[in-house]
Amino acid sequence: MAVISVALEGRPYEVHVGTGLLDKAGVIATPFLRKKVIPVVADVNARRLHGDRLAGSLMKAGHEIAWFEVPSGEPSKSWDNLRKLTDWMLSLGVERGDHVLAFGGGVVGDLTGFASAILKRGCGFIQLPTTLLAQVDSSVGGKTAINSAAGKNLIGAFHQPSLVLADISCLETLPPRELRAGYAEVLKYGVLGDAQFFDWLDEHGDAVLRLDVQAAQQAVAHSVAAKAAIVARDEKETAGARALLNLGHTFGHALEAETGFSDRLLHGEAVALGMVLAARYSARRGFLPNEAAHRLTRTTDKAGLPAEVSALGLTCDGEGLVEHMLHDKKMDGGTLPFILLRDIGNAFVTKDVELSDVARFLDEQLQAH
Ligand code: GLY
DSSP code per residue over 268-282? HHHHHHHHHHHHHHH
Told to judge if 204 belongs to the known catalytic residues of this protein, a careful annotator would answer no
Encode burial over 276-304: b for 16+ CB neighbours within 10 A, e otherwise. bbbbbbbbbbebbeeebbeebbebbeebb
| Identified catalytic residue from 63, 77, 143, 180 | 143
Rounded to whole angstroms, how far apart are CA atoms 242 and 87? 33
Q: Where are the domains of the chain?
A: 2-173, 176-367
Q: Which residues contact 232 (CB under 8 A, 6 or more apart)?
A: 6, 7, 8
SS3 12: coil
Query: Is 99 assigned a catalytic role?
Result: no
Nearest to 276 by CA among 314, 311, 235, 230: 311
pLDDT tens per residue, the chain (369 residues)? 999 999 999 999 999 999 999 999 999 999 999 999 999 999 999 999 999 999 999 999 999 999 999 999 999 999 999 999 999 999 999 999 999 999 999 999 999 999 999 999 999 999 999 999 999 999 999 999 999 998 889 999 999 999 999 999 999 999 999 999 999 999 999 999 999 999 999 999 999 999 999 999 999 999 999 999 999 999 999 988 999 999 999 999 999 999 998 899 999 999 999 999 999 999 999 999 999 999 999 999 999 999 999 999 999 999 999 999 988 777 777 788 999 999 999 999 999 999 999 999 999 999 986
Residues with CB under 6 A from ligand 1: 137, 141, 143, 242, 245
Report the nearest-CA residue for atom 2 of ligand 1. 245
Q: Where are the alpha helices (DSSP H) in the chain?
A: 21-28, 44-60, 79-91, 106-118, 132-133, 176-193, 195-209, 213-233, 249-258, 267-284, 290-302, 318-325, 355-367
Residue type, 37: V
Instruction: Residue 123: count other Cβ atoms within 10 Å of its Cβ.
Output: 20
Query: For the structural domain made of 2-173, what CATH number should be given?
Result: 3.40.50.1970
Residue 320 is which amino acid?
G
- For domain 176-367, say whether CATH 3.60.10.10 is its number: no
Supply the pTM of this predicted model: 0.96
CA of 4 to the centre of ligand 1 (A): 17
Residue 227 appears among annotated catalytic residues = yes
Indicate if 96 belongs to the active site: no
